[in-house]
Amino acid sequence: MTPSQRKFYIDLWRRVCDANQWDRNDADLRHAEVAAALDGNGKSFRDFTNKDFDRVIAHFKALIESDEFDPAQLDGDPAEEGEKKRLIFRIKQIGAQLPQGYAAAILRDRFKIIFEEELLACPIGELATIRNTLWARLQSHQSRQP
């Protein structure tokens, strides 16, 4: 977990406690809610994977929004959505380092993606392939620079 993720997690826990009138310092309660989000696996937040983090954050947000939280209320898999967001962020980040229009041409010609919004509909495997392709092109481009 990155320092910014850790800060976000702690701040969100405070909001959960405030919304539900819980004691912010009740570690047992926090561990119970983390375990509920992770299907019974109450690991330390320091040991979270990105998927764990996404699931816990979705659970905490639902606790803020509703007194009667039902995990079935969550649309889709929060871990999958988080992974997609990270891949799309990285695709955009790499694309910004390539010459103007180069990433768009690769997306259009190789992956048949014309609009940025179409990335959201791509499965994780395809997003990973796009990221890897752009990264390889960036490395090739940078190696030709003096």
Domain range list for the chain: 3-73, 78-143
pLDDT of residue 78: 66
Which residue blocks in the chain are alpha helix, DSSP H? 3-20, 27-37, 50-65, 78-97, 102-111, 124-143
Tell if the pTM clears 0.95, that is, is over it.
Answer: no
pLDDT in tens, 82-111: 788 888 999 999 999 999 899 999 999 999
82 and 88 Cβ atoms separated by less than 8 Å:
no
Using alpha carbons only, what angle is made at residue 120 by residues 119 and 124, rounded to the nearest 5 degrees?
85
For residues 47-60, give the mean pLDDT: 86
DSSP string, 9-34: HHHHHHHHHHHHT--TT-HHHHHHHH
pLDDT of residue 134: 93
- How many of the other CB atoms lie within 10 Å of CB of 74? 16
72 or 126: whose pLDDT is higher? 126
